[in-house]
Amino acid sequence: MNNLKEAMNEIAEMVEAELKELIFLPETPERKIKEAMRYAVLNGGKRLRPFLLITCARLFNVDDSLSVRAAAALEILHSYSLVHDDLPAMDNDDLRRGLPTVHKKYDEATAILAGDGLLTKAFEILSDKKTHPDANVRCRLVNDLALAAGGRGMVAGQMLDLLAAELSEMTLAEITRLQQLKTGRLISYACEAGAVMGGASRSTFMHLKAYARDIGLAFQIADDILDVTGDEKAVGKALGKDKDHGKATFVSLLGLEEAKQKAQDLVEQACSNLDIFGERAYLLRDVAKYIIERKS
Ligand code: GRG
């Protein structure tokens, strides 16, 4: 696991530097929007999605100078989703990553605009020649992210999540679909984009996709477990909200022990999809385990 920690830190630093360059502060009157965008993106975070993207891309010998841009784009889009999710109209959270949420630090209108700015910035980066020399690859990166994040992906999942607050009963299959859309699709994108950038064969791509689907679900189960057993300081946000709102989660449906077992089974299943890469995929195996053991 030490290797994993080092590798995660190395990639987080690389991505941090890229993010600072990509969202620079202009000396113009609208500087405040860039400040809010930087605040949303540069305030910590595990940088899990960038780690997955760059580590998968390395399996195909993609140069880090290219994959770091795609990874930054994905992290920027992820940050937008958190900014909007925290708004009073959605989850109404005051804390994120242990700091005031963007609408608390600035104001609601600025937080909405910062989210909009981040969302569009992600596509600006992906469509730029500097991200990949092949226009077909850039187009695929853009199209796949639009599908993963939009009304057939994360946004659909968020809609289901809002509707779920009004439903008293949800089945395991319904919760699974909701979470696969809300959090799973972006995690899958991370792995898939690495493979797309590296021109992976269809079968290799499908193995990574299957790995990503399983760790995405395991990630969400771990999140539900943290909501019940986690430490607010370590997690950096208010916990226990799902229970307070009577929302169905993997823990409420399965119970704590079964939820832990399911996450464990998913990680094992995920890792079996990495056999084709042999030893080279050790970091992906380690990060799958980390996902369910994390404290934040
Ligand atoms: C507003 C369109 C829209 C979507 C929001 C992702 C999301 C959809 C909401 C976040 C709500 C939430 C807390 C989901 C649980 C899983 C999750 C995405 C946690 C945050 O991701 P991490 O743990 O965060 O990777 P860091 O801070 O490490 O980047």
Would you say the CB of residue 247 lies under 6 angstroms from ligand 1? no
pLDDT score recorded for residue 241: 72
CA of 81 to the centre of ligand 1 (A): 7
- Give me the average pLDDT of each 10-residue run along the chain (296 residues): 89 98 94 97 94 98 98 98 97 94 98 98 98 98 98 97 83 95 97 98 97 96 90 71 77 94 97 96 97 86
Would you say the CB of residue 155 lies under 6 angstroms from ligand 1? yes
Q: Which helix (H) or strand (E) is 99 found in, with range?
A: strand 99-100
pLDDT score recorded for residue 201: 97
Indicate which atom in ligand 1 lies nearest the CA of residue 161: 8
The 10 Å CB-count burial string (b at 16+, else e) for 226-255 is: bbeebeeeebbbebeebeeeebbbbbbbbe
pLDDT score recorded for residue 243: 67
pLDDT score recorded for residue 233: 72
Indicate which atom in ligand 1 lies nearest the CA of residue 79: 29
Would you say the CB of residue 99 lies under 6 angstroms from ligand 1? no
Q: Are 175 and 253 in contact (CB under 8 A)?
A: yes
- Best of 82, 178, 287 to mutate for ligand 1, by most ligand atoms within 8 A of CB? 82
Would you say the CB of residue 132 lies under 6 angstroms from ligand 1? no
**Backbone phi, psi, residue 100, to 5°:** -55, 140
pLDDT score recorded for residue 276: 96
pLDDT score recorded for residue 107: 98
pLDDT score recorded for residue 239: 67
**Backbone phi, psi, residue 99, to 5°:** -125, 160
Neighbours of 167 (CB within 10 A): 12
Would you say the CB of residue 294 lies under 6 angstroms from ligand 1? no
Q: Which helix (H) or strand (E) is 108 found in, with range?
A: helix 108-127
CA of 82 to the centre of ligand 1 (A): 5
- Best of 48, 85, 228, 251 to mutate for ligand 1, by most ligand atoms within 8 A of CB? 85
